[in-house]
Amino acid sequence: MPTPNLYAHLDDYPAEEVPESLRTNRVELLYVTDRTRQAGRNGEILYGSGRSTSVAYGSIVVEIGNSVPWKKLVEASQTDKRKHDLSLSIRTVREHARFPETPHPFFVVDGTIVEDEETRVAFEQTAAKFRRDLVARLDSLQTKEVIVFVHGFNNTFQSSAFVLAELWHFTGRRGVPVLYSWPAASGGLFGYFIDRESGEFTIFHLKAFLRLLADTPDVHRIHIIAHSRGADVTTTSGCGRGGLRGNGMGLSCVEVRGLEPHSTPRESISRRYGRVGGMDDRPARRCGAVSSPFRLHRNRLHDLGNVSAIWAGSTGCQIPCYRSSGFASRCPATIPSSRSKNTDRCLRPWAHGED
């Protein structure tokens, strides 16, 4: 993606805040997916658009540019006139483990449903392995946070990994990035309808994954970024309306809606609506300061608190406020008359289950 407006004009990429071990042009993501696994021509792991009843998790390494040094990557991340090619590529994909197929077999004993013991043990063993992999990454970070990205309609596994790699890089490489990839990108005349049904198919798996994260004591905060159809999948799975609380950690959900991942609207959210929120007095704290939907300002995810949703669309920030228990105090004093009709949805504080 092009350089975010904020960095391009202020040279403000937080390079000094990035841990030494992460100062590289490579980005390692964890992934969780219920796409069907395929084998590439050279034996590499690929994931298609088919639906798998068994959820896999693993790691994927995305390279930004070709062997670009960290210093030059930082320079390129602060200008809209780059001297280096920052094309993205997949270096490795490793599947670490696979959960048992769903639904799990069960028996009815004296009127009580009893889960198959072998399946239960297999699930717990895989869950424990995932937690170990996640905690090993958290241990090297000061912020014990997880950033989950749920993509939208017609997104492949690879393109979704690219989006999360860029998101994580441009938000200062905080926390552990995790890609949740569901079986989208079916293609064809009825591709959207197939993807929509795949979104319904994945809800059970996404719920189980979010519960697994929430039950991991080392995770202090979960940030969920959802795009397009992924936002519907995410909210149905329990994000928003007080659906997930975990063990007392903060849960933030950011919905990026109404734009394709690489489109570039000419008018930024910050210019259209000015400052949004009330986090502090620094003028850079804006809803996005963006020129593409995934150019979220390093606003940063950890500062958003218990956000239920921020919607960004091609006509601007459709919900110019933070939906939270402090709804009124965190909305702008005035909302521009040029807002889209969808902005009216901002006026109901249902972030904690209020209708």
CB atoms within 10 A of CB 191: 15
Beta bridge partners of 38: 46
Helix locations, 65-144, DSSP H: 70-76, 117-138
For position 255, what pLDDT does the model report? 57
Helices 117-138 and 191-214 pack at an angle, to 10 degrees, of 80
Name the residue with tokens 């483990």: 97
For position 251, what pLDDT does the model report? 59
For position 319, what pLDDT does the model report? 29
For position 298, what pLDDT does the model report? 34
pTM for the predicted model, two decimal places: 0.73
Please list, residue by residue across 112-141, b when 16 or more beta carbons sit within 10 angstroms of its beta carbon and e when fewer do. eeeeeeebeebbeebbeebbebbeebbeee
Distances (CA, A) of 309 to 177, 242, 262: 19, 12, 21
Q: Which two tokens stand for residue 112?
A: 């009580």
Q: Which helix (H) or strand (E) holds 115?
A: strand 112-115
Residue 344, SS3? Answer: helix
Cα three-residue angle 34-36-38, rounded to 5 degrees: 140
> In order along the chain (355 residues), what is the average pLDDT of each group of 10 residues?
79 89 97 95 92 98 95 92 90 97 95 95 98 96 94 96 96 96 95 96 96 93 93 83 50 52 34 30 29 34 36 30 29 34 30 30
Find all residues with CB under 8 Å of 287, minimum gap 6, and list them.
Answer: 269, 270, 273, 276, 277, 299, 310, 312, 317, 320
Please give the single-letter amino acid code of residue 218: D
- What would you measure as the largest C-alpha separation in the chain, in angstroms? 71
Q: Which two tokens stand for residue 114?
A: 């009893």
CA proximity to 205, closest of 99, 122, 121, 94: 99
For position 185, what pLDDT does the model report? 95
For position 239, what pLDDT does the model report? 63
For position 175, what pLDDT does the model report? 95
For position 41, what pLDDT does the model report? 84
Whether 24 and 67 have beta carbons less than 8 Å apart is answered as no
How is the chain split among helix, strand and coil, in percent rounded to 5?
30, 25, 45
Q: In what order do the strands lie in the sheet with 316-317?
A: 88-98, 45-64, 26-39, 176-181, 145-150, 221-227, 250-256, 312-313, 316-317
For position 321, what pLDDT does the model report? 30
For position 280, what pLDDT does the model report? 30
Please give the single-letter amino acid code of residue 61: V
